[in-house]
Amino acid sequence: MSSSNAPDKLIALDLDGTLLREPDLIITAENLAAIERAQAEGAVIAIVTGRPYASAEKVIGPLRVRAPIVSFNGAVIRMPDFGETLYKKLMPADLAQEVVQECVNRRLHLQYYLDDEMYVPRLSARARLYDRRAGIPSIPAGDLRRLNGQQPIKLLIVDEPETIEELTAEFQVRWGDRLYVTRSMAEYLEFMDLGVSKGAALDWLVEHFGLTHECTMAAGDRLNDLPLLERAAYAVAMPDAEEALKAEADFVPSNQPSGVAEAIDWFLGQCKT
């Protein structure tokens, strides 16, 4: 670390498919040790995920560093252990209402996020799939149009991967100039405020901690991670990442379970301050 003991680097890590080992969703000992080494060398470690904040908290328990958590794809930045909320950006109520109505018309399974609560029309198989992965319960609310006028943090559609791919292309054309529309997993299509992205969150963290982009590293694997990799000076795409991320990457680890450790050691060798 620098002589002033101030941080001089930033490492931004996606969770699913990146920091968390698949399929058991644990942080390996190798990754934990590398994160601690990086912090000792002056790095701020940030968790940057599409998960809700409460879900991210559940899976980073073994992490023994005080890492800010960027949740909801950048819509909320909060300190761990349900600490201070540093940043929050909500969707406009009128646009949320448009998306809800479209999903009702097409009978799409939609999830509606208000603060730390997640509302669904009913506890369907798709709701239970998400609940198992995220580790937080859905609240059955019936017709989601009763939430019209609220400003959600995000909206999320769960469907088959082929359907999600088609809807992503369609809805990016329809709402892409008014909302941030992205795919976080093969079965998930997400909507946030237009100013939200993991890349915008990285910019905010750099400014908040008084850093520069010159010594920033980001690692991810899915479409919602692309803005993050684009903004970082050192971009890491996981071995099974989407091709768009690999095209952006400066480094691809040899394996997923300990890939973050491999990437951190590479980054620390590249960025000496």
Q: Taking a C-beta distance cutoff of 8 angstroms, is the pair 127, 49 a contact?
A: no
pLDDT band at 4 (very low <50, low <70, confident <90, very high): low
As a CATH number, domain 93-193 is 3.30.1240.10
Of the candidates 258, 202, 194, the residue with the CA atom closest to the CA atom of residue 20? 258
Does the fold of domain 93-193 match that of domain 9-89+196-270? no
Cis peptide before 23 (omega within 30 of 0): yes
| Pair of tokens at residue 46 | 């940030």
For 208-264, the pLDDT digits (tens) are 999 999 999 999 999 999 999 999 999 999 999 999 999 999 999 999 999 999 999
Domain extents in the chain: 9-89+196-270, 93-193
Strand 69-71 relative to strand 234-237, pairing: unpaired
Does the pTM exceed 0.85?
yes
Q: Taking a C-beta distance cutoff of 8 angstroms, is the pair 58, 15 a contact?
A: no
Q: Taking a C-beta distance cutoff of 8 angstroms, is the pair 187, 134 a contact?
A: no
Backbone angles phi, psi at 15, to 5 degrees: -95, -75
| Pair of tokens at residue 61 | 């328990």
For 196-224, the pLDDT digits (tens) are 999 999 999 999 999 999 999 999 999 99
pLDDT band at 2 (very low <50, low <70, confident <90, very high): very low
Q: Got the DSSP string for the chain?
A: --TT----EEEEE-TBTTTBBTTTTB--HHHHHHHHHHHHTTEEEEEE-SS-HHHHHHH-TT--S---EEEGGGTEEE-TTT--EEEE-PPPHHHHHHHHHHHHHHT-EEEEEETTEEEESS--HHHHHHHHHH-S--EE-S-GGGGTT---SEEEEE--HHHHHHHHHHHHHHHTTTEEEEEEETTEEEEEETT--HHHHHHHHHHHTT--GGGEEEEE-SGGGHHHHHHSSEEEE-TT--HHHHHH-SB--S-STTHHHHHHHHHHHH---
Please report, in angstroms and rounded to a whole number, the separation of the first and last CA atoms in the chain.
8
Using CA atoms, how far apart are residues 227 and 180, in angstroms rounded to an integer? Answer: 11
pLDDT band at 179 (very low <50, low <70, confident <90, very high): very high
* pLDDT reading at 127 higher than 60: yes
Instruction: State the architecture of 9-89+196-270 in CATH terms.
Output: 3-Layer(aba) Sandwich (3.40)
Average pLDDT of the chain, as a whole number: 94
